[in-house]
Amino acid sequence: MDRLATVVHRTPIIRSETTNKLVGKHVYFKMENQQKTGAFKFRGASFKLMQLSNEKLKNGVIAASAGNHAQGVANAAAKLNAKATIFMPEKTPAAKVNATQAYGAEVVLTGESFQEAYEASMKRQMQTGAEYIHPFDDYDIMAGQGTVAIEMLQQEDRIDTIIVPIGGGGLISGIASAVKYKHPHVKVIGVQAAGASAMYKSYCHRQVTRLDKVSTIAEGIAVKKPGERTLPLIRRYVDDIVTVSDEEIAAATVYMLERNKTLLEGAGAAALAALFAHNSKIKSDHCGIVVSGGNMDISTLPMIQQLASKHHHSA
């Protein structure tokens, strides 16, 4: 972990009196949107790559991602002089493709969705023997992401609850494992988008839920099925999971932009959306919010504003 601390930013925690008054709690935002590559994913990728032998690094690494994992792996690989190949869906926004290439990775655009890109990347892995870097279903990736919470509790030791967005579950597995090991009294609450709630459903019911389709503005957490390794850890260590609507996510995005001059992507706004939506049920005096990323495609802002205003009319 100490080696990791020399590579990743120790991102700031910000406070907002306006938010505190609104919810009647002390709220602490962990600003992983200010992490290198604009999201927490750089932590897990760096930690994973640091565990690889020089021989494995020479052989290169491979991943599939439509977003933050791509940039995290590309940058982590560049730091260790390893060749990275990233498979991305054909419709990935140019800005994300360019950012990934700018870190020196080779980008292969293929397939309609993440699933197709993932399958193509697995094929390539079998041909080349490069090390596969999974976005969430890997214990080293989870351990790296868990450093978010370790830092939070060092920066503000009064935190009694941490709210965390969930896609495949890599971030919350790492956070919950780290928190319950060191600070068992701290509650960990997960958040999913209502239109992509496979983990929420799998957590609430005994069987694993796999969705045929996901639909949410928070593309960073639009995952169809829980990780095989993350789900058991989440069932064991996470205290509760809630869902939020796209309107609620959009309203939280606009709120942060207006009040705190901070750009969040959909997934990054989910934890704040959950605090606003479920505030009365969240028993906490000092509540930590994981702002997981800020890589928002600016062209989607008008649509987000529209959704947010819908929320305000209905609220």
- Using the structure block, give the residue that is written with the tokens 């988008």: 193
Question: Is the pLDDT at 315 greater than 70, yes or no?
Answer: no
Q: For position 35, what pLDDT does the model report?
A: 97
Give me the percent of the chain exceeding a pLDDT of 90: 86
| Average pLDDT of the residues in 143-153 | 98
Q: Tell which phi-psi region holds residue 302, choosing left (phi > 0), alpha (psi between -120 and 50) or beta.
A: alpha
Q: Return the bridge partners of 14, or none.
A: 29
For residue 288, what are the β-bridge partners?
A: 28, 162
* Catalytic residue annotation: 41, 292
* β 13-15/26-31 pair status: antiparallel
pLDDT > 80? residue 312:
no
Confidence of residue 239 (pLDDT cuts 50, 70, 90): very high
Nearest-angstrom CA–CA distance, 10 and 128: 35
- 164-218 confidence digits (pLDDT tens): 999 999 999 999 999 999 999 999 999 999 999 999 999 999 899 999 999 999 9
Q: Name the residue with higher pLDDT: 3 or 240.
A: 240
pLDDT tens-digit map of 12-30 = 999 999 999 999 999 999 9
Over the stretch 62-101, which tens digit does the pLDDT of each residue have? 999 978 999 999 999 999 999 999 999 898 878 889 999 9
pLDDT at 46 over 90: yes
- For the chain, which domains are there? 2-36+142-314 (3.40.50.1100), 41-132 (3.40.50.1100)
- Containing H/E element for 87? strand 84-88
How do residues 264-277 score in pLDDT, each as one tens digit?
999 999 999 999 99
